[in-house]
Chain A
Amino acid sequence: MTRPAYRPFSFFGGKGGTGKTTCAAARALALSEEGIKTLVVSTDPAHSLADAFDLSIGEEIGQIAPNLWAIEIDAETEAQKYMKGIQEKMLHIVSPVIVDEIKRQIEIAYSSPGAEEAAIFDKFIELMEQLNSPYEAIVFDTAPTGHTLRLLTLPEILGAWLDHLLEKRARAVELMSMVAKYDREVRQKLESDPITDILGKRKAKFETARRILTDPALCAFYFVLNAEKLPILETERAVRLLTKYGIPIGGILVNRVIPEGAGDFLEKHRLAQQGYLRQIRETFASLPVTEIPFLETDIRGINELDKITGLLKNL
């Protein structure tokens, strides 16, 4: 069996309800059937991945078919784990009085709008670092468009910001050690500055993510949309933004395309879709466009998914 060419990381983005998860599941299944060890990752709290496979999938990686593993990430749980880790670390370092004071701050940050997004991104990086041990491909079913895009552009914005912070800290440490010339204890403390250390590690992590996400040999972003007017405009905007940040786009998947001979009732709808399909092909002329037919029933379970794996094998 010859393996199809594939990129180890693929992301499926698009509006909610367009069938991202189904496409991600079918893509992962297609790869696994070609003998590629594949992990499929869902961030949907509504367990749509479990629905697509008609199997129960947990927050830990579990095997669901030959060469196929799956995991459902819950942003809230991930964020909680992170906060707990910090609190525990604090108990070892800081006096109990301060801990109480700081707990309030942690709660504020926990409810900040970016927290869950950041938690998911952290988990993504953690999973991506596991490439080839043993997963040869990782398929992500990402959150809806705007959200996902911000997530993916974070590394660049944060990189610049962290640089600035590191510079400031370095300057402060330099000045402090100048002053502490006569104080050996302070000087030693400054030599192994945990703040510089942590900021540096964070920066390295973002750089890894950034490197992977902008490498066309490693990663591809697919847009799933239905043949309608509004999603075309939105996808166009999203494509432009990703291109600006140098994130490679693998293609456009048009889901639920009504096939010919679907009956009189759907005929008018079908003709309208054909019009939008032409528009999609014109708008995204430089990208491969894959049509996925509208099936008689919802796609649930591996047998049903197999009906569309052929289309997604060679993305």
Chain B
Amino acid sequence: MELPEKGNEAEKEQSVLESLKEWVSGMLFGSFVEIGTQAIRKEAFDINDNLMLLLFGDFLGIPNPISYYTLELLPYVAEELVPWERRMQNRKTIVAEKAGQYDFG
């Protein structure tokens, strides 16, 4: 009769340990890795935005020699397309955007 309870206790300890580990790794990730990856993520987004501009520039009024062929990509980028269009149209200055990336305040 004693054994299961002991088992429960061990399990409880185990799960507390697990969540503590997760919390610590999350904390470390947030305070060290996350800051490092932010710049990379921004860069990835920028390249992807530029790619979208090359593929679907004609939606913004920039002629595209093969807009007919890029249409077949639409189903896969459709979800990104609307926010992308908004981002492109809301762009104020490229300098401010770049400055923001480096956290100049």
Interface residues of chain A, those whose CB is within 8 Å of chain B, are 79, 82-83, 86, 89-90, 92-95, 98-99, 101-102, 105-106, 108-109, 112, 114-115, 118-119, 157-158, 161, 164-165, 168-169, 171-172, 175-176, 178-179, 182, 194-195, 198-199, 202
Q: Which residue of chain A has the shortest Cβ distance to B59 in the bound complex?
A: A105
CB under 8 Å from chain A, chain B span 51-76 = 51, 54-56, 58-59, 65-69, 71-76
CB under 8 Å from chain A, chain B span 9-53 = 29, 33, 37, 40-41, 43-44, 47-48, 50-51
Q: Which of A99, A169, A198 contacts B51 (CB 8 A)?
A: A169
Q: Say whether, besides A105-B59, A112-B58, A161-B66, A198 and B78 are in contact (CB < 8 Å).
A: no
A-B contact pairs, 22 of them (CB 8 A): A79-B68, A86-B74, A86-B75, A90-B75, A90-B78, A92-B75, A105-B74, A109-B71, A112-B58, A158-B66, A158-B69, A164-B54, A165-B55, A168-B50, A172-B44, A172-B47, A175-B41, A175-B43, A179-B37, A194-B73, A194-B76, A195-B73
For chain B, give the interface size range. Answer: 20 to 34
Q: Count chain A CB atoms within 10 A of each CB in B29, B40, B44 and give the residue with the most.
A: B44
Residues of A within 8 A of B44 (CB): 172, 175-176, 178-179
Q: Which of B43, B65, B78 contacts A99 (CB 8 A)?
A: B78
How many Cβ-Cβ contacts under 8 Å join chain A to chain B? 106
B76–A118 CB distance below 8 A: no
B75–A93 CB distance below 8 A: yes
A175–B75 CB distance below 8 A: no
CA distance A157 to B64 in the complex (A): 12
A118–B69 CB distance below 8 A: yes
CA distance A178 to B40 in the complex (A): 8
Q: A108-B59, A114-B67, A172-B47 are in contact. List 18 more A-B contacts (CB 8 A).
A: A79-B68, A86-B71, A89-B75, A93-B75, A94-B75, A99-B78, A106-B71, A106-B74, A112-B68, A115-B67, A115-B68, A161-B66, A175-B44, A175-B47, A176-B48, A195-B77, A199-B73, A202-B72
A98–B82 CB distance below 8 A: yes
A119–B73 CB distance below 8 A: no
A172–B76 CB distance below 8 A: no
Interface string of B69-92 (1 = CB under 8 A from A): 101111111110110000000000
B43 to chain A, nearest CB (A): 6
B34 to chain A, nearest CB (A): 9
Residues of B within 8 A of A93 (CB): 75-76, 78
A141 to chain B, nearest CB (A): 22
Q: Which residue of chain A has the shortest Cβ distance to B51 in the bound complex?
A: A168
A123 to chain B, nearest CB (A): 13
